Amino acid sequence: MTDAWATAARAQRSGRAVLLFGGGGQVGRQLRVALAPLGTVIPLTRAEADLRDPDAMRAVIERVRPLVIVNAAALTNVDQAERDPGLANAVNTIAPGIMADAARRVGALFVHYSTDYVFDGAIQVPYDEDAQPNPINTYGRSKLAGEQRVAEADGSHMIIRTSWVYSVTGAGFVASLLRDLPGKQIVRIVADQVGSPTWSRSLASATAALVQAAVRDDEVALNSSDWGVYHLGGSGEGSRVEIAEALIDALASRLAGDRPTIVPISASVFGALAPRPHYSALSNLRARKRFGISLQPWRTELHRMVAEEYR
């Protein structure tokens, strides 16, 4: 028996479980900790739950019969999604719909992550939950279609759109900068993309607070009027250049006075395969108004991450 299934067996005996898909990712690792006070967390990795296998997903949900299911698993590599739309459709569109339907059948709350890339970037004010999606790449289209599948399942659900998630490890923008900045004299950074940088730990904590508000006495207590989309991104907005500047400030004592020079470049010069929206900052309006949940300003969060996690 794997560790995950041993945990599942214990959860079944306790009668309270949180089933976490994508437990090995940068948000999933933080969710393991943040969701622990809500019940026994069963984190499933790709090896334990193949999102391309509908029968396997249905089977694990039926077997565990959790109180809450959180889907933090996705194909998030935007250029890979452009190269392989079939895989993006299987993981980002079909799989969430299957999970949501299975969640409804066992009476579980389904929490699903989506993205700011469902928007086209045509406006220059933060997108709230009522803004009209219009994705401009395969990744965004597959994630929007996944949102629609989740809603169509007609079970208790929360869809969390987030933006530019970062951590100290992995292949993301901030993690790459943390590896590259020491010893660099010049760094070239895309200047014409703006989003809401979001620390994975804060996103996980805000997610747990949403779930806490939705369950009472081992039962899902979320009213259908509270189903649907919530935006959770770092408060405010920032370009990639501004993120790099803030990160250099946070690392000042470790750069030995050798502050790198940032050279702004256009996204077109960078030459990514898939187009990205030039603006995709999020307004965390609904979670704040309904549950009093929001994230701190992104610069504050970035400095906290460096202070508490960067070694």
Please give the positions annotated as active site.
139
Amino acid in the structure at residue 149? R
SS3 for 177-190 is HHHHCCCCCEEEEE
Between CA 117 and CA 279 the distance in angstroms is 9
- Angle ∠(105,107,110) on CA atoms, nearest 5: 95
Q: Which positions ≥6 away from 51 have C-beta within 8 Å? A: 21, 57, 73, 90, 91, 95
Residue 241 β-bridge partners? none
Q: Which positions ≥6 away from 55 have C-beta within 8 Å? A: none
How far CA 241 is from CA of 34, 191, 192, 235, 244, in Å, comes to 30, 5, 9, 17, 5
Residue 183 β-bridge partners? none
Count of CB atoms situated within 10 Å of the CB of 221: 12
Residue 169: φ, ψ to 5°: -120, 170
